[in-house]
Amino acid sequence: MRKAIVKGIEYYVPENYEVNSTEDSITGKIGILQRPTAGVDEFASDLAIVAANKLFDSNSNLNKSEIDMLIYCTQSPDYILPTTACIIQNALDLPRNCAAFDVNLGCSGYVYGLSIAKAFIESGIANNILLITSDTYSKYINKKDRSVKVLFGDGASATHVSWVDSNYELIGPFIFGTDGSGKENLIIKAGGLREPISNESGIEEVDAYGNLRSRNNLYMNGTAIFNFALKEIPNAIENLLKLSGSTLEAYDRFVFHQANKYMNESLRRILKIPEEKFSQNIALFGNTVSSSIPIALCEDIRNYKILGNNKLMLVGFGVGYSWAACNLIFKQ
């Protein structure tokens, strides 16, 4: 049977890094030592193009002419319109008969992207899909807002999803969840049609903790996000196990969205996942939003923490609120 398969993953982060102070108590709690940040003239699509070219360069068997669909997951688009995926298609010189579209999702975006790619592949509509994630949250952050400045890094990933003849699933099944009532807890209030950027939206205010931001900047209620994750993610994983007819012990590796060390460690302990099976690379990259899972996958593969035929659990969660989880069989 025709089954979707991940045939390659690469990532790219900017060369510039901002370092979190080791003397700051927050650094120890979130576990982030440094964060890659895009330059003034470096945007999410630029990172995406570099990541995609790295994927093509690393795989001599993959030609750009074979790509018949580009899925671009970002919350840092170049423009309101046109679709940034169209811009990337042209920059990469992909075929003109290649479908290209954006997906506006954050930390759950990579898992959602895999589900979309799987549907197009297994239905026979597409044969070779380029799934790209890229975000530059640093451009939304007020430099004097430590509540988010020390958390988020910029980065991009590129994944080749194709097909093989197989009797079992290599990607999936999937579990999804949404709770839009949490929208106010991770939001940029100005910049869309509901509240355009204006002189008023740019007025900066100081919160109770001394953080400075305007309505043009990213705002996060960290406590609310933490409580949401601890409530919903264990339930989602329990539902994935039921759907899969599996147990936690059957998995070789757990790759969660790299939110921060404290949150991920709390989830790991609640779920009783062995530390040696749990991916943690937050220290060197920060929270790279939709790219955190594929970056972690790449790092684990390169460090031989993920081997051929390993069964992986991928879990994304965050802005929306939105969450998603799936199984992935890694083929070397």
Q: Which residues are catalytic?
A: 107, 257, 287
CA nearest to 319, candidates 76, 12, 6: 76
Among 183, 253, 262, residue whose Cα is nearest residue 220: 183
Cβ contact 102:83 at 8 Å:
yes
Around Cβ 164, how many Cβ atoms within 10 Å? 13
For residue 294, what are its two tokens? 């594929």
Encoded amino acid at 83, one letter = T
Q: How far apart are CA 99 and CA 84, in angstroms?
A: 13
**Radius of gyration over alpha carbons of the chain, in Å?**
19
Instruction: Look up tokens 């900047």; give the residue.
Output: 217
Q: Which two tokens stand for residue 204?
A: 């900066």
Tokens coding 138: 């640093």
